[in-house]
Structure 1
Amino acid sequence: MSGPSRTAPMIFLFIALTLASCKPQQTYALENPGLKATSTGTTAPEPVRATSTLIPEPSATMPPACLDAEGRLLESSYAGVVYEHELAYLVYLPPCYADSALSYPTIFLLHGYPYDQTHWLDLGLVEAYERGVVNEGWPRVIFVLPY
């Protein structure tokens, strides 16, 4: 049994595993076995009485947090070198991409014959990915879907 009903879960599993590998590794503090905590025998310092000090308000306001739930899909084309025609491609940008100075991992998803750059969209890539970002905390990435 092959076809879209069997292929789609495998594709989404592949995407999920790829995205999971994009997460940074957790860091752990290492203890030095040669150092041991000892009491120094000093007493606690006398408490200092707090005085009220006015803290100036910052002049610039913080930019609002990203409230967009959906990314943008851009469509364009480029001149082929070997294949002397315009070749279409799609780029999915995550929510608030234009407002951010962050770098994003980029995933190139190639289609198989006889499909085109819209094949991954037909399989539900954007919906599944955005659901994963919201519900599972997947990292934000850029998808490139060439012809």
Structure 2
Amino acid sequence: MRQVRLAIGCLLLIVCLAACATATPPANPAPTVPYTPKPLPTNTTSPTIAPTRPRQTAVPSTPTPTPCANPGRMESGSYPSVTAGQMNYRIYLPPCYGLDGRTYPTVYLLGGNTHTDAIWDELGVDEVAEEGILAEELPPMLIVLPDGGWIANYSSGGPGSFESVIVNDLISYIEQTYCAWPEPAGRAIGGLSRGGYWALEIAFRFPELFASVGGHSAALLDQYAWPAVNPQYTGLSQNLGDLRIYFDIGADDYVINNIRQLHLDMETAVPPIPHTWVLNEGRHEEGYWQTHIPDYLTWYSEPWSFDRGDYLACSL
């Protein structure tokens, strides 16, 4: 009897050990806390700004029906970056892209530090754009979704940072590869969370390259960002010209303090710096950004014409 009990006990011990060895620990959700970047070596060489033509403002006109049998589509690709190597991107091409031989205004949307080029796609930016374009509530546009990778998380701004990737590499590649309107009036840039930091960093340092910039829950938390690149300073010290500026954030967002302070500083500057400030309900989360995508696309596209005849011819 004692031998039987010992045998049963050993058998139970073996089963228990096997179960413990195969158990899978619960997955942890991706953090939403903006990454504190590590400084790169100082590079004093100014970036080579993507070549541009003089700014021309598209003249809005009354929308005209443009029936189209070809739906819009999302494409993926990569481009060479002198600063960071091969980089991935996604691009939304509107219905009947390229068939009329005209260029399109372009929105560049950046993700946060835990995101890839997939985030805005997963939030449904292409579906919102498609619906708005087909309903003639939005003009046809390109939407570029670049991956930030290591350089967006481990640099703070200036030459040799993610700024150089966007300004020197991505914009030139897009405008040489697609029918993108190659003028400042045809470009907008925005981002969420850490991407909001980068959108503001880039546009405030190079306001002559863009018509509009948006910071959506912009996480202005970079401890290594010095005044020459930090949007909290460049937004006040730079001559931003006629750059359109949009800030929005949820009232319960934990990164609200610095972007709200920038809004107040711009509002009380002498003279005040024009910008749009939108305080919504919500927190720092994907549901918030997804809800407000229609607001973002409507705002970015306000200066752009619905009449395709107003745009430059595409040489591709």
Question: TM-score scaled to structure 1, two decimals?
Answer: 0.52
- Identical counterparts, % of pairs: 36
Tell me what 1:74 maps to: 75
1:24 aligns with one of 56, 59, 63: 59
1:97 CA drift (Å): 1.1
1:136 CA drift (Å): 4.8
**Structure 1: distance between partners of 2:58 and 2:121:** 24
Asked if structure 1 preserves the Cα contact closer than 8 Å seen for 2:95 and 2:130, the reply is no
1:23 CA drift (Å): 7.5
Amino acid corresponding to residue 59 of structure 2 in structure 1: P
Q: How does 1:36-115 map to 2 (within 5 A)?
A: 66-68=68-70, 70-84=71-85, 86-115=86-115
Task: Flag the structure with higher helix content.
Answer: 2
Counterpart of 2:100 in 1: which secondary structure? Answer: coil
Tell me what 2:265 maps to: none
The change in CA–CA distance for 1:87 and 1:23 in structure 2 (over 3 A counts) is same
Amino acid corresponding to residue 72 of structure 1 in structure 2: R
**Structure 1: distance between partners of 2:82 and 2:58:** 36
The change in CA–CA distance for 1:91 and 1:73 in structure 2 (over 3 A counts) is same
1:66 CA drift (Å): 2.5
**Structure 2: distance between partners of 1:94 and 1:124:** 14
1:121 CA drift (Å): 0.6
1:24 CA drift (Å): 3.5
Tell me what 1:32 maps to: none
Tell me what 2:117 maps to: 117
1:99 CA drift (Å): 1.4
Question: TM-score scaled to structure 2, two decimals?
Answer: 0.25
1:117 CA drift (Å): 0.6
Q: How does 1:128-139 map to 2 (within 5 A)?
A: 128-139=128-139
How many aligned positions are there?
88
Higher RCO structure, 1 or 2 (CA under 8 Å, sep 6+): 1
Tell me what 1:140 maps to: 140
The change in CA–CA distance for 1:113 and 1:89 in structure 2 (over 3 A counts) is same
**Structure 2: distance between partners of 1:23 and 1:135:** 21
Asked if structure 2 preserves the Cα contact closer than 8 Å seen for 1:23 and 1:139, the reply is no
RMSD (CA atoms):
2.6
Instruction: Name stretches of at least 5 consecutive residues in structure 1 with no aligned partner.
Output: 1-21, 28-64
Deviation per CA, 1:104-145: give whole Å up to 9, x if none.
Answer: 101111111110111001111011111112235210001111
Amino acid corresponding to residue 127 of structure 1 in structure 2: E
Amino acid corresponding to residue 107 of structure 2 in structure 1: I
**Structure 2: distance between partners of 1:112 and 1:134:** 29
Amino acid corresponding to residue 89 of structure 1 in structure 2: Y
**Structure 2: distance between partners of 1:132 and 1:23:** 19
Asked if structure 2 preserves the Cα contact closer than 8 Å seen for 1:75 and 1:91, the reply is yes
**Structure 1: distance between partners of 2:136 and 2:109:** 21
**Structure 2: distance between partners of 1:116 and 1:93:** 19
Which structure has the bigger radius of gyration? 1
